Structure 1
Amino acid sequence: MPNHTIHLAVYNTMADWEVGYVMAYINSPEFQKVPNRYEVKTVGETLEPITTKGGLRILPDLSLDMLIPDNSRMLILPGADTVAEGGIDAFAKMAAHFLKAYVTVAAICGATAALAKIGLLDAVPHTSNARAFLEMMTNYKGTDYYQDVQAITSGPTSTSGTLITASGIAPVAFAVEIFRELDLYSGPTLAAWIKLYQNQDPNGFYELMAEHAA
């Protein structure tokens, strides 16, 4: 039976806005092909509360040592102010286990640097805030695979699962890649969602309403 749990990594100073669209719409049954198919669980390094960059206090559902790739459909890693000092390295190492187990990992902004630091971006197409951002912050060796796009999905390959990466200024594009990977919406519904949120075209709203009423 497919696993339908989405795990969101949470840590102090995490950039809550980077996953705002993702969390809101995974948890909103309207428009979805199969309403309420997925549930979101938050994962902290411990069970202690964390405080986001936006000042929100989150009590993790489980700690990192309780997380098992086989019990997950996807691990989502937002950025955080602590990335440069190794603050989310433990989560990057867990991401490596997920990819080895062919479970999808999605990383945005600083989280991509944490993945690059341990070599997870060395041989797969990926993106981030900028190529120079990865080169400055890590022992990054994947420059030839860097794609100058807002967000990109790579894999799976013969040795690794699917990896989604995104720039920190592209939370909408990040959400779109995740929605596609999860098969959350029908084609017309996702096109309307993109028109509204990514293209900022108000007609997308009416198209979404029409899809919902159909």
Structure 2
Amino acid sequence: MKVNPAPLRTGQAALMGLCAALSVATLGTSAHTLDIFNKQQTSNPWWLPLWPQHFNVHGTKALVATSTVTFVLSAVFLVLALVPRFNLTPTVRALLGLGTILPSSLLALVTIVYAHILNSDSPEQDTIQTWTCKYKNSQPMEEEFRLPSEMGNGAFKSICMESKFALYGTLVVFLLLGMSMLLTIVTWLADKWAARQSRKEVEMTAH
């Protein structure tokens, strides 16, 4: 039975490309929410600046770090695997895939669990996500005056959505990485099988 590993390689590259693209999206949203918090925490009364220790932003920082690492490693794989000049052997390609997928997967899993643990600590200690989602619709005294954007919670709804996207986007990346790992192994086996069949055909032709 002949096996063509080319579609498998294409699928592998496509999955890694999706991981890279989604990592950029999660990086953008998590970094944006963290930037708003850092800029407004000391001035916006909605962030309760008198009690800054109430907030734990380590989960958001972990999401930023994870998405950055995942994007870099995915990009490294794509460049080395798709640029013809590198001409990777099936074994080297498989090792490269596992070497970029495993660290990203482990980091993503730890970050997801860590972020969920921090979110579950609310209301004793809030994260950017739990706080903004809690008060995204609270707008007291709106009839009397309108607060400037940096002095109210007008952006809380979007920050809440971005925070959720960053977390669940990382979960999707983790699942894609798991699929990529499985496809990497299958692609390597298919390459070895195709090489074996080619050698047999050459030997039969020689005889």
Structure possessing the higher radius of gyration over alpha carbons: 2
Q: TM-score, normalised by structure 2?
A: 0.22
TM-score, L = length of structure 1: 0.22
More helix by share: 2
The structure, 1 or 2, with the larger RCO (C-alpha pairs under 8 Å, 6+ apart) is 2
Structure showing the higher strand proportion among its residues: 1
